[in-house]
Structure 1
């Protein structure tokens, strides 16, 4: 266990105030106050459109294509269950006899 595991929260705050290490999970962050905007983007002035970044169409296309590919792929996969095989085998053996 690291040395930080046994230090109290108040001791960590005083360590941090003196330039020591910050706590791993309960740190307050480095913003003075939360911005309150989604993804940290401020609203644009009226009449101005948001510029789409280069990665966004690829991400949206992948996000929309994934369920379609999964739906098609999972509906047309072969049935490899033991019960299905046993049913087909029983049908085959009953017709042979």
Structure 2
């Protein structure tokens, strides 16, 4: 019986397996929660756009106004020196609607 692991080794392996399983389950639950939040926002966006179609037009006009203001403040994209004063366009968080 020298080949069989002792009960303490089995218990220790079992505890390690349980910890690993718990970590995996927590990660899966977090992923599912994140997906659920994304689906909720998508459903919300769909409901808002369907119940208020003028919102889409308003968002488009707002985006155009932002771009016009950016050009007025930072200059055209071709003008390199003035662009250094403005933050990157991709750094501005925008929500898709």
Bigger share in helix: 2
| TM-score using structure 2 length | 0.32
